[in-house]
Structure 1
Amino acid sequence: MKVRHVAIAALLGSACMAQAGGIDRSGQSILALFENGRYAEFSLGAVSPDTSGTAVAALGGFGSGDMTSSFVQLGAAYKADINDRLSYALIYDQPFGADVDYPTGTGYFAGGATAELKSHALTGLLRYKFQNNFSVHGGIRVQSIEAAANVPFVDGYSVNGSRDIGVGYLAGVAYERPDIALRVALTYNSGIEHDVATTENSGTFGTTTSTTQIETPQSVNLDFQTGIAQDTLLFGGIRWAEWSEFDISPANYATLTGGASLVSYADDVLTYTLGVGRRLNDNWAVSASVGYEKSNGGFASNLGPTDGFKSLALAAVYTQDNMKITTGIRYINIGDAQTTLNGVTAASNFQDNHAIAIGVKVGYTF
Structure 2
Amino acid sequence: MKTMLGATTALVVGTLTAQAGGIDRSGQGLGALFEKGRYVELSFGAVKPEVSGNDVALFGGGATGDVASDYTQLAFSYKYDINDQLSFALNLDQPFGADVLYSATSAALGGTNAEATSTQLTGILRYKFNDRVSVHAGLRATKSDGFIRLQGAAYAGLSTYNVTLGSDVAPGYLVGVAYEIPDIALRVALTYNSEVKHDFLTTERLGAAQIAPQSVTNVTLPQSVNLDFQSGIAEDTLLFGQIRWVDWSAFRVDPTAFVGLAGGGLIDLEDSVTYSLGIGRRFNETWAGSVSVSYEGKGTDNLVSPLAPTDGRIGLTVGGIYSHENMKVSFGVNYTKLGDAQPETGTPDVARASMTGNSALGVGVKVGWSF
Q: TM-score, normalised on structure 1? A: 0.95
Does 2:213 match 1:213? Answer: no
CA distance in 2, matches of 1:185, 1:282: 27
Higher mean alpha-carbon deviation, 272-281 vs 152-161, is at: 152-161
Cα deviation for residue 146 of structure 1 reads: 0.3
**Counterpart of 2:151 in structure 1: which amino acid?**
P
> CA contact under 8 A between 2:108 and 2:353: conserved in structure 1?
no
CA contact (8 A) 1:288 1:314 kept: yes
Following superposition of structure 1 onto structure 2, how do residues 274-293 of structure 1 map, counting pairs within 5 Å? 274-293=277-296
| Code of the aligned partner of 2:296 | E
Shift of 1:245: 1.3
Cα deviation code 1:106-152 (max 9, x no counterpart): 14321112110000000000000012610000010111110012212
Q: Distance in 1 between matches of 2:248 and 2:13?
A: 20
Contact 1:8 1:317 in 2 (8 A): no
Q: Percent identity?
A: 49
2:206 pairs with 1:202: yes
Aligned with residue 307 of structure 2, among 274, 281, 303? 303
Describe how 1:1-366 pairs up with structure 2 within 5 A: 5-10=3-8, 11-104=11-104, 106-131=105-130, 133-153=132-152, 154-202=158-206, 206=211, 208-259=213-264, 261-265=265-269, 267-298=270-301, 299-342=303-346, 343-366=348-371
- One-letter code of the match for 1:245? A
* Contact 1:76–1:92 (CA under 8 A) maintained in structure 2: yes
Q: Report the more deviating stretch, 11-20 or 153-162.
A: 11-20
Cα pair 1:333 1:355 within 8 Å, conserved: yes
Moved more, 204-213 or 121-130: 204-213
Q: 8 Å contact 1:125–1:138 — kept in the other structure?
A: yes
- Give the conservation status (yes or no) of the 8 Å contact 1:14–1:43: no
Give the Cα–Cα distance (whole angstroms) in 1 for the partners of residues 107 and 324 of structure 2.
53
Tell me the amino acid that sits aligned with residue 291 of structure 1.
S
Amino acid across the alignment from 2:329: I
Alpha-carbon offset, residue 346 of structure 1: 1.5
Deviation at 1:206, TM superposition (A): 3.0
Displacement of 1:13: 4.9
Query: Secondary structure at 2:111's aligned position in 1?
Result: coil
Amino acid at match of 1:9: A
Q: In the alignment, residue 139 of structure 1 is paired with which amino acid?
A: G
